[in-house]
Amino acid sequence: MAKSNSNLCAVVLSISILIVAVSAGSFYDDMDITFGGERAKILNGGQDLSLSLDQYSGSGFQSKHEYLFGRFDMQLKLVPGNSAGTVTTFYLSSQGAGHDEIDFEFLGNSTGNPYTIHTNVYSQGKGNKEQQFHLWFDPTAAFHTYTIVWNSLRIIFLIDNIPVRVFNNNDAAGVPFPKSQPMRVYASLWNADDWATQGGRVKTDWTNAPFTALYRKFNANAKKVGPNSVSTSSINDNQSWSTQGLDAAGRNRIRWVQTKHMIYNYCNDRKRFPNGISAECKTSRFL
């Protein structure tokens, strides 16, 4: 009996270790390197991933699976020092001319000046939904969590679980919304000094290359689609993301972010859109 109990304990321990390993995720299991060769490196047994950029190439990766709705979390530590001209990304996208896309882009700057957090939503190949922010912390000093919640009702962008933007489904008002095309997760580090920093006025200083950004703790509580697809939600997850909105505290936080830290909102750009702002700009944003 003692031997049986011992064997049972060993099995339970093995199962527990397996569950922890699965729930922790691994870049080896979840991602494929898409370009950049050795500039993209999976480290620490699959727990971390670094992307580098030099004067010859950037680098990037994509998820092995496609998803239709979910919550996607990634921790990033951005390029330190003089990052002018560089763009680091974490986003969702489908493929094809009429693609859907949900973007976090991090636009580098010269030393001492803040990163610009650029967000955008594309549906059926059309974007022009940009909002930009400066952060309330140094994104190069430590890892921070960037989150995209995507459900049939809305898209929520969060930073360290603080909502910074909501894009509601206004399909009924004629505003296209990403709702039917499965998307993969993508990330990249590349040179965009023709536009990224102060409209392209500040160029990449290649004497600082290679530029490196770090990724870790990717998690997708999401509906995986494709052959043999099953939800990737963790065992204890109740898929609250499927109806997630903002409570009173969330509404207060997003108002603070957008009042204190937003630097561009397409809804206010009358010069760019002289024929009038889009319909979603006229509705309540923080339902």
Could you read off the pLDDT of 254-282 as tens digits, one per residue?
A: 999 999 999 999 999 999 999 988 999 98
Could you read off the pLDDT of 22-64 as tens digits, one per residue?
A: 344 799 999 999 999 999 999 999 999 999 999 999 999 999 9
∠ Cα 149 153 159 (to 5°): 25
Query: What one-letter code names the amino acid at 65?
Result: H
Options 38, 66, 105, 130, the catalytic residue: 105
pLDDT band at 206 (very low <50, low <70, confident <90, very high): very high
Q: Which neighbouring-strand residues pair with 92?
A: 102, 185
Residue with tokens 């160029």: 203
Could you read off the pLDDT of 161-183 as tens digits, one per residue?
A: 999 999 999 999 999 999 999 99
Question: Is 90 exceeded by the pLDDT of residue 15?
Answer: no
| Mean pLDDT confidence for 178-207 | 94
pTM listed for this prediction = 0.89
Could you read off the pLDDT of 229-254 as tens digits, one per residue?
A: 665 554 445 689 999 999 999 999 99
pLDDT band at 6 (very low <50, low <70, confident <90, very high): very low
| Mean pLDDT confidence for 184-188 | 98
- Residue ranges of alpha helices (H) inside the chain are 2-24, 27-30, 248-260
Catalytic residue flag (residue 105): yes
Using the 8-state DSSP alphabet, how is residue 13 labeled? H
Residues 6+ apart with CB under 8 A from 30: 63, 64, 65, 218, 220
Q: What is the pLDDT of residue 238?
A: 63
Pairwise CA distance, residues 268 & 176, whole Å: 20
| Length, in residues, of the chain | 287
Q: What is the pLDDT of residue 12?
A: 34
Options 38, 101, 130, 280, the catalytic residue: 101
Q: Are 62 and 231 in contact (CB under 8 A)?
A: no
Burial environment of residue 42 by CB neighbours within 10 A (0 to 12, 13 to 18, 19 or more): middle
Catalytic residue flag (residue 38): no
Question: Is 60 exceeded by the pLDDT of residue 151?
Answer: yes
Q: What percent of the chain has pLDDT over 70?
A: 86
pLDDT band at 198 (very low <50, low <70, confident <90, very high): confident
